[in-house]
Structure 1
Amino acid sequence: MKIRLLFALTAAFIATAQADEVQVAVAANFTAPMQQIAAQFEKDTGHKAALSFGGTGKFYAQIVNGAPFEILVAADDETPARLEKEGQGVAGTRFTYGIGKLVLWSTNPDLVDAKGEVLKTANFKHLALANPKTAPYGTAAVETMTRLGLLPSLQGRFVQGENIAQTYQFILSGNAELGFVALSQVFKDGKITSGSAWIVPASLYEPIRQDAVLLAKGKDKPAASALLVYLKGEKARSIIKSFGYELH
């Protein structure tokens, strides 16, 4: 009995000693999928992913100024490439984990039609979008309105969020009747979770390729390497797809 107990305690100690924690900076649009992936990752590997959510542009500034992040799961492909070029990202580790989709969304179930024709009407006073200078989904929103020839007529109604999470909150709180957000924020398992929405055709904006990269501070961390491998695996890809992302 004592031997069995000793063996169990030793095994538990080894597992604890091998378990590691990785600090992950995650783009706001990927919040819900990453929470699910991190929980499954910990269950399957014993490693823990400590997640921080926010704008990719802000994360870039924090990383170059010494923030302790070990992986960046970005909202674009340009920031990880830039970090890699500047030596903050580990060469050869960058990959596209998903391609994001833009959606025009409202909490009002009757406001947004299936073709986005609401944008041509006076049925709303405020239109939310993320800052197009720093947020990929904001850039995509401006591209969409430009290609539709609606940008000049809509600019006076803009409510601009610092990032896609704040933009979503503007709509949820009623500060804007509708707005452009990431499909992943309002989509799960094949359907829009609430309100009304128009999934913007991909032909109206440049592809939103979202890359992950191992950062210099995570180069020798087992959990960091393990998480990057896990993000490419079938369990993670299934979760990513369930939130409306296209897989690369």
Structure 2
Amino acid sequence: MRRFILSAVLAFHMLASFAALADEISVAVAANFTEPMKKIAAGFEKTSGNKVLLSFGATGKFCAQIKAGAPFEVLLAADDETPSKLEREGAAVKSSRFTYAIGKLVLWSAKEAIVDGNGDVLKRGGFDHLAIANPKLAPYGAAAVETMKALGSYDTLAPKFVQGESIAQTYQFVATGNALLGFVALSQVIGGDGKLKSGSMWLVPEKYYAPIRQDAVLLDKGKDSASAQALLAYLRSPEARRIIQAYGYALDK
């Protein structure tokens, strides 16, 4: 019995020491990458013993927060321009940037048989509100605007816009019925099995918008963190890449 108690005490001290050595990594994540990043972070925590603190939101807002001194160590952006800009301005570590995913835009409704396979519903009408993310803050919102302009329907549809601050809020507008349909990220409407979770959608052809290259970058506050660097390395691992593809993203070659 005394030997058992001694072993338990030693095990407790070993776990306490391990916990003391484990790092917490603060990561700003583009809202469209919420579900895959939760799974990737869980895998990284299991293999590394480190804790990943995830914050989800609009890339534009994160950029402003980082410049204002927010304690993020890693940024997973929804574009490639923001990480590049942060590098140039000294807020991110040079040469740490890479494309972790290439996003895809969809027109989606939470109701079945609303959105057809060619997006003709945009011309046909029959809806009062169309949700899009703020194109100044969210790259998927900018892609939505590009798409509508390419289709020649922007001016007609603009009065119907319900604008979300992030792609997450835009998704909520549609999911709750505040807008019958909206432009969101493919990753938001399919599960890890690649199947549509509910409703109806049109996968917007990539010819209608510039590639949504989503870059990750090590921020200045994480430059001395081996754990933050390890997380970025894990993001490029076969395990992480399988998760990324499962949610409909393309990978950089």
TM-score with structure 2 length normalisation?
0.94
- Partner SS state of residue 159, structure 1: strand
Tell me the CA shift for residue 5 of structure 1. Answer: 5.3
Q: Deviations over 1:211-245 (max 9, x none)?
A: 01011111111221111111011111111111111
Partner of 1:232: 236
Structure 1: distance between partners of 2:95 and 2:21: 25
Q: How many residue pairs were aligned?
A: 248
Q: Unpaired segments of 5 or more residues in structure 1? A: none
Q: Does 1:125 align with 2:135?
A: no
Contact 1:48 1:223 in 2 (8 A): no
Q: Unpaired segments of 5 or more residues in structure 2? A: none
Partner of 2:163: 160
Partner of 1:85: 88
Structure 2: distance between partners of 1:116 and 1:180: 11
AA of the residue aligned to 2:179: A
Q: Does 1:50 align with 2:43?
A: no
Tell me the CA shift for residue 119 of structure 1. Answer: 0.6
AA of the residue aligned to 2:128: K
Tell me the CA shift for residue 10 of structure 1. Answer: 5.3
Tell me the CA shift for residue 12 of structure 1. Answer: 2.7
Tell me the CA shift for residue 4 of structure 1. Answer: 5.3
Structure 2: distance between partners of 1:176 and 1:163: 15
Q: Deviations over 1:100-143 (max 9, x none)?
A: 00000001111001111111112211111011122110110111
The equivalences for 1:90-109 within 5 A come to 90-109=93-112
TM-score with structure 1 length normalisation?
0.96
Partner of 2:200: 196
Q: Deviations over 1:17-63 (max 9, x none)?
A: 33111000111111111111111111111011001111111111111
Partner of 2:75: 72
The CA RMSD over aligned residues, in Å, is: 1.4
| Residue of structure 2 aligned with 1:138, choices 133, 137, 141 | 141
Question: Share of identical aligned residues, percent?
Answer: 61
- Partner SS state of residue 137, structure 2: coil
Contact 2:133 2:163 in 1 (8 A): yes
Structure 2: distance between partners of 1:89 and 1:50: 19
